[in-house]
Structure 1
Amino acid sequence: PPRNPPPPSFWSRLWAAPMLHLGRTVLYRYVHGKIYHASLLHKRFPNDHTSQLEPDSLDHFFFSCPLRFAVWQECWRLLFDVPSPSWHSIKSALVTQSWPDLHEPLTLNPPSLLASAIIVGLWRAHWASVFDSSPFIPQKVVTSIHRNIISINRKSSLFPPT
């Protein structure tokens, strides 16, 4: 379990929030501290020198790494009326499920669904860089996430909530 477990109300909000399945899974693993990153790998495999190359933490892996933060920041600006978000404010919105105002054309969708599209895009880009040696290029990741959000928006306009 997480060191500082969230209150039961967090879990209720997380399970009730409309999200992409993979996005919810990654967020759940983040809250539990179970996303593999260098410091966690070093704890499990202390003799593996590749996990010791650079100081890392879960927050660095998920938010504050300059490449990932560039993606978070650009996507956040596209979705929300927040001109210069910090990684702390993005993290806070995700773990509290308390969202800033959406830009007008995106209000058909719940913010949690759109934020989960960012999580999924980052997750896929990360693992593509690990397993396929695809370079993690923030602008390409943002473009991919933006395409997915446009697709989500189209589906929402075709099938609005009743």
Structure 2
Amino acid sequence: MSEIEFRDMRIRSPHADDQARVLRVLDHWWGEFEGSAGSVQRALLLPRLFFQHFTTSSFIAERDATMTGFLIGFLSQSTPEESYIHFVGVAPEEQGSGLGRFLYERFFEYSRAHGRSVVRAITSAGNSGSYAFHTRMGFTAEPGPAEFEGRPVQPDYDGPGLDRVSFVRRI
């Protein structure tokens, strides 16, 4: 992807060195969400391989060399009509600016250009802000065998005790 602009931000593809930059902002951007266990889980979800092998389908947003957001996504290798948004973050001071929506729309555009018609994503069961964002973006929470605060949950989705809400959106 060539660089593009969103307001006064530069949007570009990530490179391997961006992994350390992303890991450094996670705790600040997520605050104390799910405590130290949540901090470890978030870091483990972003190994270097995402910044080496999925760069054309992922985005880094920056203003004056300061990271303001990122989206890590990829085209499914196994299900040719699907793509997957793996992890997204927007700096707290940028939330509500439209940056998250812009990154998702870029990913939808990329997915359509590669013949995809379905985008999937997940979020932690307790992340009500993420749940609200995804539903505003047109995602549907897939039914699950359990609920958390009225949200359908897939128990043990990411391993024992790591319940998730699973989303799908047709594009």
Q: TM > 0.5 between the two?
A: no
Structure holding more helix per residue: 1
Per the normalisation by structure 1, the TM-score is 0.29
Per the normalisation by structure 2, the TM-score is 0.28
